[in-house]
Structure 1
Amino acid sequence: MTTFRVTTEEARQFGRVAVIYGGLSSERVISLRSGAEVLGGLQRAGVDVFGIDLGGEQGDLNPLTQLMDAEFDRAFLILHGPGGEDGTLQGVLEMLGKPYTGSGVAASALGMDKVRCKQLWAGAGLPTPAYAVLTESTDLTAVGEQLGWPIFVKPAHEGSSIGIAKVTNLDELKKAYQNAAELDSLVLAERWMSGDEFTVGVLNGQALPVIKLETSHDFYDFDAKYESDDTRYLFEHGLNETQEQALKQLVIDAFDTAGCEGWARIDVMQDGEGAFQLLEVNTAPGMTDHSLVPMAAAQQGVSFEQLVVEILRQTVR
């Protein structure tokens, strides 16, 4: 099969492109894998591209110095987690006058903050599971009574399911809170959704094919996402046409409400009555060999090279 390549004119428009990946968050190992895939895809497509392992490539330089010393015209951002996906890096690039892929400062910060993103969606009338914010002084017994069992416990600013636990009683809730609080000062308890889980990518304002997730684990955790070979990604998702269109519209509404741009992936579950509930938005989704946006794009006939170039094109529009 012939690999997609950009035209000479488009390559000139792109100029020198930096794929910024790595970073210092707990998701560094995933970002390194995503960055390597993106770098390879853009190279195969004929883009003049190089990688910046932010914070890790050159131990004698801090990330800001790395960016200021590098010569590039625009950036493909594929850092995951705090410091790269939360608006911090986006703000630096704004100050440097460098166009970049994905959402801007505000939407990136909102997407990384699960609590405030849920508050925004709920305020806009979009469905999201009931929740409580946990602190050292929170009455956890009352949280159990409010949300019912089981409960999801999540660090508010981590991705890749890092630090997430499913708990079924008060003792487990206490332990899960302590574990999550070691990763994040803001911890979220969320009502457990008993229905099916779906993920929908968004590319340039359009929803990609819906993927239903099935795993032998209690939930779609880190191992199920990146390591397990028995996780199932189903395009035959069991939704009828009306349900599928409703899910896609909900995802677009969630994307727009958060102010996202370019591309993202939004995770959704059904509750016990089959209603869709928004979980979170990922403004720089994974691009590894287990990742879902490339999988959905391929289902639509878009190769990996075409996908990364299309994401990059937003920086010259």
Structure 2
Amino acid sequence: MSTVAVLMGGWSPEREVSLVSGKACAQGLREGGHAVIEYDVKRDLKALIDFLRPAAGRGPDVVFNALHGKYGEDGCIQGVLEILAVPYTHSGVLASALAMDKPMSRHVFTSVGIRVADGKVVERRSLASGDPMPRPYVVKPIDQGSSVGVHIVREGDNLAAVEAAEAAFGERVLVERFVPGRELTVAVMGDKAIAVTELRPRTRFYDYEAKYTDGITEHLVPAPVPPEVYEQARQWALQAHQALGCDGLSRADLRWDDGQPGTSGLVMLELNTQPGMTPLSLAPEQAKWAGISWPELMNWMVDHARRPA
């Protein structure tokens, strides 16, 4: 078996989630027979390089990337690993960058016939001048994950408060029409979409708290939706994975307006190249439903690691 370095932590708003993911993955890798080194990534490139390519002795055989958010899943850490020619899990530089940039991934999705919600990129400060589209609509940072910074603007909501909250994430935001109905997600392993899960949060929407707090969201797998919706969601998830050029494991998030006929109310929201790997996370849950144990999933990811030339 391999010596696997699990990169976790980082300094994005998703640091705590990454630490939980990393610890869980490290345990699964050990159960799968690997020697595991856990590494909490700091903003110190030299230290990371020295760890991966030590002057004396051999570095890890494979990096398991359990980082979430900016610098961990947007192509940055992937670029470092490519330069060092260290094999690593999940997607490469371009796919990671495209998926993390929500406006760019929307362009890719629509280019291959995947429907997205009506939306546009606006200057954050323009929100202070009034609504960019009829309410309800969704305001989200263009390059964050785990629903960090996402706001649904409904009638009576204070738009100035939303604009102020978005200030931490840059000068531009993505504004999308709010799609009522049901939240769906599909994990993809390589060339196969595993299953469709419906998420029923007990909060107003599936936000950061609902994702990572036990008991707040009900997970229904397989999702109790019509067969044509189920299959369309799986097909789009795999299509999006392939169109972005993803490798290994990914997870697509969708909304389905069940008040519309057939699949006409289904839209793609985004694709996650580094889906959560916590005990509450959706991709491992779908793998388990499909009969893939936690150590088996970890071994599959190591076996399918990218190997830079």
TM-score, normalisation: structure 2 = 0.90
Q: 2:267 aligns with which of 270, 274, 277?
A: 277
| Deviation digits for residues 220-241 of structure 1 (CA, Å, limit 9, x no counterpart) | 0111111141310002522232
Q: Describe the SS at the equivalent of 2:205.
A: coil
Q: Matches of 1:299 and 1:91 in 2, distance apart?
A: 34
**What does residue 305 of structure 1 align with?**
295
Closer, same or farther in 2 for the Cα pair 1:300/1:67, shift >3 Å?
same
Q: 1:140: how far off?
A: 6.4
Residue identity (%): 35
Deviates most, 245-254 or 176-185:
176-185
Q: 1:49: how far off?
A: 1.7
Which structure 2 residues correspond to residues 1-317 of structure 1 after superposition, within 5 A? 11=1, 15-55=2-42, 62-69=47-54, 71-136=59-124, 138=126, 143-144=131-132, 146=133, 148-169=134-155, 172-271=158-257, 272-273=259-260, 275-315=265-305
Q: Matches of 1:309 and 1:299 in 2, distance apart?
A: 17
- The runs of 5 or more residues in structure 2 that have no matched partner are none
Q: 1:174: how far off?
A: 3.3
Closer, same or farther in 2 for the Cα pair 1:83/1:66, shift >3 Å?
farther
Equivalent pairs counted in the alignment come to 300
Q: 1:60: how far off?
A: 11
Cα RMSD of the aligned pairs, angstroms, is: 2.2
The answer on whether the counterparts of 1:18 and 1:51 sit within 8 Å (CA) in structure 2 is yes
Q: 1:169: how far off?
A: 4.4
Q: 1:270: how far off?
A: 1.2
Which residue type is aligned with residue 37 of structure 1?
A
Stretches of 4+ aligned residues off by more than 3 angstroms: 59-70, 136-144
TM-score, normalisation: structure 1 = 0.88
The answer on whether the counterparts of 1:177 and 1:187 sit within 8 Å (CA) in structure 2 is no
**What does residue 8 of structure 1 align with?**
none
Q: Describe the SS at the equivalent of 1:251.
A: helix
The answer on whether the counterparts of 2:250 and 2:272 sit within 8 Å (CA) in structure 1 is yes
Q: Describe the SS at the equivalent of 1:310.
A: helix
Q: Matches of 2:271 and 2:45 in 1, distance apart?
A: 34
